[in-house]
Amino acid sequence: MISPGRIRNRLLAAVPPADFASLASDLETVALDQDAVLSRTGDRLEHILFPDSGAVSLMVNMASGQTVATAAVGREGAVGMLSVLGPSPSAITAIVRVTGTASRISASRFHAAFNRSPAIRQVVQLHVRAMLAQFQLGVACNALHPVQARIARWLLQFRNRTDHDVLPLTQEALSQILGVRRTTVTLLMRSLRASGAIRSERRGQIEVDPMRLAAAACECHSTMSSELEEILSIGVPGSRVPVAT
């Protein structure tokens, strides 16, 4: 059982105390290990995870074997939440990119609480709106913006969700996220180092300069951050705190 005072995930923290009590006994703290696959495309989702720290990328796998990331999830969101809308195979693969911890609950238990509680349903609605905003803007960004700006945006997304300037990301992981070849990532990283947006890169550890990285990113980073803040700051009546990124 997880007490309200130990919750760092902003969605769970936005659930009013009386409604949270219906979830607390079913929540358990689990580790989000680096590069762990939380779910694969086609899996039946057995659990919902609410990250307290770390970052997860949601990936689409193509028949050709290529991959591309569609969204990032940190302590502002959840992994597997859409399972409450009805049983269906997962459409994405969720991979831990930055290690952390999460509060985990079985999908069936959460679905029961979702049916009982209007406040929990409102939290789910906020999350769905936030994810749709990421998906929609991400589609436009992938189609219209150069890969150099997109890699800067992704690095910022992970940095802002973890509050650390050193990110445990390999070039192979970045090639999967961006949907480009490893050699392309090598060239992109070289350019970002030359501009000072990346201070250093060694053994899968990328140290970034957030200000210079923001200058290298497309406007989608600031637009996405603003849209998520606007959606998630609505909060839920009676909650302990508003939802926030």
Say which CATH number the domain at 81 has.
2.60.120.10
Whether 51 is covered by a domain: the verdict is: yes
Whether 225 is covered by a domain: the verdict is: no
Whether 127 is covered by a domain: the verdict is: no
Prediction pTM value = 0.90
Whether 236 is covered by a domain: the verdict is: no
Output the tens digit of pLDDT for each of the chain's 245 residues. Answer: 565 557 789 899 889 988 999 898 999 999 999 999 999 999 988 999 999 999 999 999 988 889 999 999 999 999 999 888 777 788 899 999 999 999 999 999 999 999 999 999 999 998 999 999 999 999 999 899 999 999 999 999 999 999 899 999 999 999 999 999 999 999 999 999 999 999 998 888 999 999 999 999 999 989 988 888 888 776 655 555 444 44
**Domain interval for residue 59:** 4-117
The predicted pLDDT at position 243 comes to 45
The predicted pLDDT at position 5 comes to 59
Whether 201 is covered by a domain: the verdict is: yes
Per-residue pLDDT tens digits for 166-209: 999 999 999 999 999 999 999 999 999 999 999 998 888 999 99
Q: How far is CA 208 from CA 38, 80, 99, 205, 239, in A?
A: 26, 30, 17, 10, 35
Among 116, 91, 95, 70, which Cα is nearest to 172's?
Answer: 95
In eight-state DSSP terms, residue 138 is: H
Tokens of 184: 């392309």
The domain tally of the chain equals 2
Is 186 found in the same domain as 94?
no
Please enumerate in sequence order all residues whose Cβ is within 8 A of that of 6, keeping only pairs 6 or more positions apart, or say none: 29
Whether 61 is covered by a domain: the verdict is: yes
Whether 108 is covered by a domain: the verdict is: yes
